Structure 1
Amino acid sequence: MKHQILNEIKNVEDEIVSLLSQMIQIPSVNPPGEYEAICDFLYEKLTSYGFDDVYVLPVPENLIKQKGLQTNRQNLIATLKGDGTGPSLILNAHLDTVPEDDHSMWTFPPFSGLIHDGKVFGRGATDSKGRLAAYIGAALVLKRAGIPLSGDLIIAATCDEETGGELGAGYLASNGLIEGDFALVEGYSQEIIHAMAGMTQLIIKSVGVPAHSGFKWNGINAIEKMAKVINGLEKLQSDLMNEPSNINGMKYTTINVGVISGGTKSNVVPGSCEIEVDLRIIPEHSIDSIVERIENMVFNLKVDDPDMNIIIQKKGEAETTPTIIERNHPIIEALQKASIAMNNVELPIVGVMGQSDSRWFIQNGIPAINYGPGTPTNRLHGYDEYMEISDLLNTVKVISLFCLNIVNQTVESEVKR
């Protein structure tokens, strides 16, 4: 099988690179989130490749309105069918990109998809159209090589990952619109990601009593009370640094005060102050336990200072639980076998403090890991984002063999969905 894959990749190299270049040329920036053009393109392209089922799934209008969004949301699913005797594998990458920002700062236009010096340049070249090109390319290699599949290979090109993925992979997985035994989600080529931190955000308000600064004793300074809270958060952060994760690549739960506002004039005792706090939570902790520790810290401050009036609220729906699958899980072993066979490289298995759409699959009972072409040096979210063509094609080799390792094996019932 390895030699069949390697021989076929030589035949489709130009197609895979061209596919990535063409996808970059179709902007799908989020916000606002424009998906019709890229979905139409992929529908035609994957149909021409001979995928068995290709369809675009619009997100219901009422869900879009509930989110206060102004543009339609769409997801695309395409399947290479197996004979039904093996497990199915979802290959998921997102369609949306972050904004391109100042065009004048790009060496090449951000939506040119220009191929230069062994690289493909443009917004989304790595994150995540490069990953999508690799996943489609791997399926195309297996189809063109005529290798029979026992289980299905499912391409899921989804929307809105850059804003949380709720109407993309979240909508599909939570509503049973996509089903599989395993999922591979966008990631980097130098590692396998098996764990991701949880995340929640808090708004903490300090309510004081305004007064003239010359008669400060008539007021309660909300900013000074908030300073005590910030000092308390800093002390809690120091405690959490002494509770490190056991997972390679993850350090400790982080508390970040990212925004602060309060007061009106320097000669007025401020009646209000507000901070926004971002929490990144390692799998060894729970979101509720960390929030409870913050609440207890504030309670103790109030005991010492009865004039404090502190209100803690979660910020909207911005919350994801930590996710993890075992280091020796069959999906990881299948990818390691492919990497060793193709490159003689055993990939490090790591956790990261960010999140991705893998959580939607894991939360809905589908084991998922992150792996794909590109590295953090490819200027993701920055100017001159690019994809190394050699990395793209090498990753297609690994993913092609990985797909076979999954769909052409018998999976024990306890690791099936």
Structure 2
Amino acid sequence: MSHTVASTPDAVTLAQQLIRFDTTNPPGHEAACVRFVESLLSDAGIATRIVAKDPERPNLVARLPGRGEAPPLLLHAHVDVVPTAGQDWTHPPFSGDLRDGHVWGRGAIDMKGSLAGMLAALLRLTAYGTPPAGDVILAVVSDEENGSAVGARYLVQEHAHLFDRVAYAVGEDGGAGLELGGRRRLHPIVVAEKRAVWLRATFHGPAGHASRVTPAHAAPRLLARLLNALDDGGLGPRSTEAGTRMLTELAAAHPGPLGEALLRFRDDPADTAALDALSERDARYLCSVSRHTANPTVIRAGTKTNVVPGEISVDIDGRLLPGPFTTDGFIAELKDRAGFPMDVEVLVEGEEMPGPVFGPFYDRLAGVLRAADPDGIPVPMVTTASTDARLFPQLGIASYGFMPLLLGAGLPYRDLLHAPDERVPVQALRFGAHCFEQLLLSYP
């Protein structure tokens, strides 16, 4: 048995192999990578099934049978990655190079490194011949980085039966992370996500010759007012269940002035001065998960330099906090902040996630992290990004972001997702694989 277990590929090798598939989305072309995972699992005796809306962009659903003593557990991971065009990389982004104790390449963090940990855990359990308490389902999907239409959304809408009786799902953490000066090592467990509501605001004013001063209601002046109203990208501060618990637990782990500041911000998220002692990165994160955000990103205006445009449109990336917040309420708040009439079109409206689910499974995730890293602190967190975790709750599945990594102080690796020189430490990958293995062995 020991010989068989030793022969299973480890997370480092798997991460390198996965990164070497160029699955840039768009266009995606994830098929070769998905087929590689299918072959790997099939050769180990794990049942697999390919489900595809687009043959070039398939999804894999694999099932490791359990002992029938618990509901099935879902692990899900996407293999598509964002583009690298226009970025300067130290090592080629699809090389999977092992340099300086790191695996380099697009997807190392988001999220082929995490998938490697899941695969290593499944392969080790299979080699041990020790079935988990319940079936483990692994969904390897396409298209997460561009809306999930042929990936997780397709699975949820057209193949929901594949996830019958699943109670809990574990996927990526969306880059959620805090450093807090490196005083304690923090392990995020994402319990809620902000959801995307992308808008196009259009407003009108008198067109005319650009050689004259413009009236107060001219479209360019309205644009200036809108940009000024949204200069920091945030709307009014709010408390949420997930945010309140996160700040409470962070404060408990950091007694003294830092903990007091976190409690002060928890009790009054309008008091951003409470975050002055934090790094700019950490302060921005905490502000972002205590208010809806609205960032102007694309402006369309004018056709000629000497003509004042009579119409301007602005695309706005809106992100709503988890909780009972509606798109209509968000638009009303945006219009009130701007202070002038505008037409608003909804371009994208993300799925609403239910509130955070704390309980035995969350405690299990936290327990796995505490056992693997006694000096670390598991923390419930909200991610500002949207992931496939927004989709599986439609099937009644409580979803969590769980990307266990053993990281030291210094470079915030989670900030490298979508960035040049994305990489992950070797020790972090092996730590993650160990945590996934322990989760499968100890579930429920």
Pairing partner for 1:384 from 421, 428, 440: 421
In structure 2, how many angstroms separate the alpha carbons of the residues matched to 1:361 and 1:399?
A: 20
- The letter for the 2-side match of 1:389 is V
Q: Which residue of the partner structure matches residue 167 of structure 2?
A: 181
- How far off its partner does 1:126 sit? 1.9
Distance verdict in 2 for CA 1:333–1:221, change over 3 Å: same
Q: Which residue of the partner structure matches residue 137 of structure 2?
A: 154
Q: Which residue of the partner structure matches residue 89 of structure 1?
A: 73
Number of residue pairs matched by the alignment: 378
- How far off its partner does 1:185 sit? 0.3
Q: What are the equivalent positions in structure 2 for 1:269-348 lying under 5 Å apart?
A: 269-284=308-323, 285-295=325-335, 301-302=340-341, 310-315=342-347, 317-326=348-357, 328-344=358-374, 345-348=376-379
The yes-or-no answer on 1:194 pairing with 2:209 is no
In structure 1, how many angstroms separate the alpha carbons of the residues matched to 2:43 and 2:233?
A: 57
Distance verdict in 2 for CA 1:323–1:9, change over 3 Å: farther
Q: What percent of counterpart residues are identical?
A: 28
Match of 2:76, SS state, is strand
In structure 1, how many angstroms separate the alpha carbons of the residues matched to 2:368 and 2:234?
A: 40
- How far off its partner does 1:225 sit? 3.2
Q: Which residue of the partner structure matches residue 398 of structure 1?
A: 435
Q: Which residue of the partner structure matches residue 306 of structure 1?
A: none
- The letter for the 2-side match of 1:399 is F
In structure 2, how many angstroms separate the alpha carbons of the residues matched to 1:394 and 1:220?
A: 59
Match of 2:162, SS state, is coil
Q: Which residue of the partner structure matches residue 96 of structure 2?
A: 113
In structure 2, how many angstroms separate the alpha carbons of the residues matched to 1:367 and 1:273?
A: 42
- How far off its partner does 1:199 sit? 1.6
- How far off its partner does 1:319 sit? 2.7
Write out per-residue CA displacement over residues 323-342 of structure 1, whole angstroms, 9 at most, x where no aligned residue.
Answer: 5322x322211111222223
Verify the 8 A CA contact 1:13 1:393 in the aligned structure 2. Answer: no
Unaligned runs of 5+ in 1: 62-71, 303-309, 410-417
- The letter for the 1-side match of 2:331 is V
In structure 2, how many angstroms separate the alpha carbons of the residues matched to 1:94 and 1:16?
A: 16
Verify the 8 A CA contact 2:292 2:321 in the aligned structure 1. Answer: yes
Verify the 8 A CA contact 2:204 2:219 in the aligned structure 1. Answer: yes
Verify the 8 A CA contact 1:85 1:150 in the aligned structure 2. Answer: yes
Unaligned runs of 5+ in 2: 176-185, 247-285
Pairing partner for 1:54 from 41, 48, 59: 48
Match of 1:381, SS state, is coil
Match of 1:199, SS state, is strand
Q: Which residue of the partner structure matches residue 204 of structure 2?
A: 207
Match of 1:101, SS state, is coil
Pairing partner for 1:142 from 114, 117, 125: 125
In structure 2, how many angstroms separate the alpha carbons of the residues matched to 1:121 and 1:10?
A: 26
Verify the 8 A CA contact 1:9 1:397 in the aligned structure 2. Answer: no
Distance verdict in 2 for CA 1:100–1:227, change over 3 Å: closer
In structure 2, how many angstroms separate the alpha carbons of the residues matched to 1:10 and 1:254?
A: 48
- How far off its partner does 1:149 sit? 2.4
- The letter for the 1-side match of 2:417 is L
- The letter for the 2-side match of 1:80 is L
Pairing partner for 1:371 from 402, 413, 418: 402
The yes-or-no answer on 1:31 pairing with 2:26 is yes
In structure 1, how many angstroms separate the alpha carbons of the residues matched to 2:127 and 2:200?
A: 54
Distance verdict in 2 for CA 1:269–1:111, change over 3 Å: closer
TM-score (norm 1): 0.81
In structure 2, how many angstroms separate the alpha carbons of the residues matched to 1:260 and 1:35?
A: 33
